[in-house]
Amino acid sequence: MGANSSSISELPENEYLKKLSGAEPISENDPFWNQLLSFSFTTPTNSAELKLLEEATISVCKSLVEKNPRTGNLGSLIKVFLSRTKELKISAECQNHLFIWQAHNALFIICCLLKVFISRMSEEELQLHFTYEEKTPGSYGTECEDLIEELLCCLIQLIVEIPLLDITYSISLEAVTTLVVFLSCQLFHKEILRESLIHKYLMHGRCLPYTSRLVKTLLYNFIRQERSPPPGTHVFQQQTDGGGLLYGIASGVATGLRTVFTLGGVGSKATPQLEQCSPLAHQSLLLLLVLANLTDAPDTPNPYRQAIMSFKNTQDSSAFSSSNPHAFQINFNSLYTALCEQQRSDQATLLLYMLLHQNGNVRTYVLARTDIENLVLPILEILYHVEERNSHHVYMALIILLILTEDDGFNRSIHEVILKNITWYAERVLTEISLGSLLILVVIRTIQYNMTRTRDKYLHTNCLAALANMSAQFRSLHQYAAQRIISLFSLLSKKHNKVLEQATQSLRGSLDSNDSPLPDYAQDLNVIEEVIRMMLEIINSCLTNSLHHNPNLVYALLYKRDLFEQFRTHPSFQDIMQNIDLVISFFSSRLEQAGAELSVERVLEIIKQGAVALPKDRLRKFPELKFKYVEEEQPEEFFIPYVWSLVYNSAVALYWNPQDIQLFTMDSG
């Protein structure tokens, strides 16, 4: 780095980096900084090059870690950057490329150094490196200043105040990334950080007044999905006069060290094409999620979470609550469009979950949309391709559906939206189907996948809860959806019989031998019977509330009536079976009266006529099925590792050595 272009192989012997990390203090007024910051750098394009960069610069970083407490060169570099950012806004307005370029290069170096410092020392040690001492001639005292808060505040100001132009895109991205790196100390702790120096600075003092503006800017960065400027947008020509410095910036420097690097863990595999189209939008969303999931301070709730919970639509003219100073307004239509378009990524799905769960204004707006299919279809695709998704992404998608199905208006409207040619649904050609029926099909498919693969009770529970919430509002179910409901019950029935047989055989075997321990079939039996009862309640809820709207479900019920015979006298199901048994008996009788050899069309006609004739008072009323999503206690134990796994696996994030990571393991997440 310095006056000439640099490559990875040259970095260990680079004279400017060696001087920066050397034993000689460098004043912030030294011409050295102009030389150091006038570099072009070919950005790494794959994980191998990223690792090479880490290895090439580690000797420089180690030397700086060792000598900086005496030289204060890190502090001098930061002061150089801080002094240059004071004129950034004017530089952007005046198109001063050179000034912005050197400020970006300073921040790029700071970010790279900071990443290594944070991974190798405690926050207390880090703070010492950010503290410099100034001694004036003839003075015996010292004046100490902590630069961390000043740098953090400067980065936030840069993000929220500098206009986003082609020439400022790279430094805006670097500022967002540097804040992520500042907060990355969590990666190197097994336990959730509940007291952190960086958290304290961000939640108090000079940074606090910028809370709502920062959250709003990060959201708008996500909404706008601004692409990285094309190569050559801000390339400088070589200067031949004066010092002859090469004022060139490689096309890749805008993204610093960002490139594809994906390891295992709870985050999905990175989607580099998607992320690198708009690295600023991607990185802004990651920073927003990290900030929103910081733990509350002992005396103050997380202000960033408060801002996310309370922002309103720009069309909402009601007054802000005085109890929340961090509220702001944003265009909900633009936000909704971005959320619909970006659901392929974990982080966009997590943002949607947070907004629906925590922000009542957003939830009300989403539920009032007349194009709800634009949001629901991407969520259903996530669940449909469950094999390709990590478990956390599937959970978030499923909980989003559960939150939406808490609303009766949603449950009614999805059956009024007719979809054509769902190409991604491969089990059957669906030329025309309602959104409600498709939702049922995908949720049932998720349950069946879970039964044969993951066997996760939590996933089962949430799937069934979503179906139960919708059941009273089932309308005009597609024949295939009706068949799959009964097929799922058939699968559960077979599993119940299998477990019951295993339990019986095990019990008989135990009578002959007292040596071998008994498998816990009783627990398995209890679980499967809970699920069976839930399915019976869902079928019963539909029959009780909307029998005349669902002839296809009655048809499927009659076609597989033998399945229900064994549960009529079962003590766990006798009460709920009364209505189902009544419906089966009533319609079976009418079909017998109509004669044999009936066509499908004729059977459906008889069912429709019978639905009108069946006295509603003969069906026993049960309490309404309603399940509400409740976040678990200490949700940070789930969300903080999840968010940081997304940062770690990001295709545009900095490289972290997997051996240094403590928060989660690389294989299991």
What residue ranges do the domains of the chain occupy? 335-471, 476-506+520-624
Query: What mean pLDDT, rounded, does the chain reach?
Result: 84
Instruction: Give Cα separations from 374 to 62, 98, 129 (angstroms).
Output: 51, 44, 50
Tokens of 654: 């900095």
Q: Could you give the 3-state DSSP secondary structure of residue 133?
A: strand
Separation between Cα atoms, residue 159 and residue 171, nearest integer Å: 9
- Kind and range of the H or E run holding 645: helix 636-649
Q: Which residue has the tokens 């997380």?
A: 302
143-152, 232-241, 277-286, 517-526 — which is least confidently predicted?
A: 232-241
Asked if residue 639 has pLDDT above 80, the reply is yes
Rounded to an integer, the average pLDDT of 479-499 is 94
- 374 dihedral zone (left: phi>0; alpha: psi -120 to 50; beta): alpha
Read off the pLDDT of residues 204-257 as tens digits, 9 standing for 90 and up.
889 999 999 999 999 999 999 999 887 655 444 333 333 322 233 222 222 222
Going through 190-343 in order, the beta strands assigned E by DSSP cover 312-313, 329-330
Separation between Cα atoms, residue 43 and residue 398, nearest integer Å: 39
- Using an 8 Å Cβ cutoff, are 261 and 50 in contact? yes
366-380, 393-407, 588-602 — which is least confidently predicted?
A: 588-602
How many Cα atoms within 13 Å fall on the side-chain side of residue 359?
A: 26
Q: Which of 129-138, 329-338, 564-573, 659-668 has the highest mean pLDDT?
A: 329-338
The predicted pLDDT at position 230 comes to: 75
- Using an 8 Å Cβ cutoff, are 315 and 332 in contact? yes
Overall pTM surpassing 0.85 (yes/no) = yes
Read off the pLDDT of residues 105-127 as tens digits, 9 standing for 90 and up.
899 889 888 988 998 899 989 98
- 212 dihedral zone (left: phi>0; alpha: psi -120 to 50; beta): alpha
Dihedral over Cα of 162, 163, 166, 169: its sign: positive
Separation between Cα atoms, residue 62 and residue 77, nearest integer Å: 17
Read off the pLDDT of residues 534-585 as tens digits, 9 standing for 90 and up.
999 999 999 999 999 999 999 999 999 999 998 988 888 989 999 999 999 9
Asked if residue 510 has pLDDT above 80, the reply is no
User: So what's the architecture of 335-471 in CATH?
Assistant: Alpha Horseshoe (1.25)
- Using an 8 Å Cβ cutoff, are 130 and 148 in contact? yes
